[in-house]
Amino acid sequence: MDHDNLDFPQAVEDLAKAAGMEVPREQGVKGQKPRQPTDSPLYPLLTAAAEFYRQALKSHPSRKAAVDYLKGRGLSGEIARDFGLGFAPPGWENLYKHLSSDSLQQKVMIDAGLLIENAETGKRYDRFRDRVMFPIRDSRGRVIAFGGRVLGDDKPKYLNSPETPVFHKGQELYGLFEARKFNRNLDEIIVVEGYMDVIALAQQGLRNAVATLGTATSEEHLKRLFRVVPNVLFCFDGDQAGRNAAWRALEATLSNLQDGRRARFLFLPEGEDPDTLVRSEGTDAFKARINQHAQPLADYFFEQLTKESDPRSLEGKAHMATLAAPLIDKVPGANLRILMRQRLTEITGLTGEAVSQLVQSAPVDAPPSYDPYVDYDAMPDFADYQPQGGYEPQQEWTPKKTGGQNQKKWDNKSWGKKGKRQDFEPRTPRVPTAVEPPMQAALRTLLHHPELAEKVENASHFAAEDQSNAQLLVALIEARQKNPNLRSLQLIARWHGTEQGRLLRALAEKEWLIEADNLEQQFFDTITSLSARQRERSLEHLISKARQTELSAEEKIQLRELLNRNVPAQTPTSTGA
């Protein structure tokens, strides 16, 4: 188990399978993290899909754009082979025709995230089209999902498989299997932000990089990493988004920092990412950059809180202690926790006893009001289904068979005469989880992008809104407008120890999985809706009052202005929004 770095249940499953025994199973507990099934019809299906994409990259008539893209990123055929890179050809039914034999098999493909079904028409089509394909593997090397990078101008730029019975993106790390396969005795793993960063570093000889799959770095990710290595290096862009991601990674790391484990943070020059930087400056220079500029977690922790709190004043010291003490208490390693508390007392002048009291009085975090495994980006979008004219007709192409095996026979399970799996019960299609309310979405967008507050012209348009979350949104906007230097952590800290503060922290900790442009539009749509509601209430109030008594001159002007507007509400955003 230690040698293979498997979870205890996984190790038991492997041993039982080798001995021909069945492992007794317990019923799942609500709230418990989902586990991968050890034997699922999705595994051979996903393996067959990966082989289809790999063969398409080698021989499909439309492969040139994909090959040129990979060559343009400096990748060799060897690296493409090691990571199993592939190509999803343009067209709506390439994989559909290649793998599906009947409706039952198509349902399994939908379960695997390979097909999308139009809920209105029942049409089924390939999820991945005209994309470079990155197979995602679990700790045993089984293909469990895919990421696809678009070759044209379609959105999104990167598309991941949805959550499936075998794929939970909040737990998986791209490249971890490949890194361990290359070197079973790793000492440190580099965490980067994207597939191409992992592969570009591997191309330059740095075969120890992994990436999260469109989500923030989680405690579950860190548990997996520290089971493999004692040291983790986070490598992020130097812009504000990169630093926000780094802080979330730090918070996820704290509870995993046993003594003997180490985490460091490296920020790259703005405009650079690991892919571009390692190609431009070379492997040796990149390693030197790590050695010279990577910050130990504790140093980054106190540097960041010093910027947020400004401990030169008594108020700043108190604020810093309030923020830092509960976070330090999460560290399980006794030696590191003691040293970090000592550092905090040196900066703030508080005694160790006072710091301990801060920890004891800190409120217990409420459980998040969202599902951390919901994948908003992967929810089907049926608007783009145009099988009659979406792509130019493609000549018929059949991938080469490997090993002379029948395409339907992916494992040793039997198939009936009509291609139906004899040992498989059809799975009820997953129902997408409802997206969170627009008000919470607006709050979360503002926490991830505080600069949007500066584009709101006048929050007073909806300041009288009686919904508590709306009042919180107004307060956040006004706080940022008064002090444009306030960052997310400082905004959240203003409500420390309150229900609003717990809500803001829960919202901030969840990563957006859709395009930034759509987030901004959604944010301002919510602002406009609030303004419209407030205008309607003002109109109703003035009209009702006018029926009962004479309006003042000021009220008459206000009523005239409201009635003269040709739009439902004046959008409270600047023209540059």
Q: Which CATH architecture has domain 438-564?
A: Orthogonal Bundle (1.10)
Give the mean pLDDT of 434-452: 76
Alpha-helical segments (H) within 349-391 = 352-361
What is the rounded average pLDDT of the residues 72-88?
A: 94
| Mean per-residue pLDDT, 308-330 | 87
Angle between helices 297-309 and 334-348 (to 10 degrees): 30
**Rounded to a whole number, what is the largest CA-CA distance in the chain?**
91
Give the pLDDT band (50/70/90) at residue 336: very high
**Inter-residue contact 143 to 177 (CB < 8 Å):** no
- What's the pLDDT tens digit per position in 180-207? 999 989 999 999 988 999 999 999 999 9
Domain boundaries, the chain: 8-17+38-164, 176-361, 438-564
Going by DSSP bridges, is the β-strand pair 209-211/188-192 parallel, antiparallel, or unpaired? parallel
Which fold is adopted by the domain 8-17+38-164?
DNA primase DNAg catalytic core, N-terminal domain (3.90.980)
Q: What is the mean pLDDT of residues 223-232?
A: 95
Residue 266: the pLDDT is 96
DSSP assignment string, 504-564:
HHHHHTSPP-S-HHHHHHHHHHHHHHHHHHHHHHHHHHHHHHHHHSPPPHHHHHHHHHHHH
Tell me the torsion sign for CA atoms 141, 146, 150, 156.
negative
Q: Would you state the pLDDT for residue 201? A: 95
Q: What is the pLDDT of residues 251-300, one digit of tens each?
A: 999 999 999 999 999 999 988 889 889 989 999 999 999 999 999 999 99
Which pLDDT value is given to residue 367? 37
For range 384-401, the mean pLDDT:
52
More confident residue, 167 or 458: 167
Q: What is the pLDDT of residue 405?
A: 42
Residue-wise pLDDT tens digits, 525-557: 777 777 777 777 777 778 888 888 888 888 888
pLDDT at 214 over 50: yes
pLDDT of residue 6: 54
Provide the pLDDT for residue 72.
92
**In the CATH scheme, what is the code of domain 176-361?**
3.40.1360.10
Give the pLDDT confidence score for residue 147 in this predicted structure: 94
pLDDT of residue 466: 55
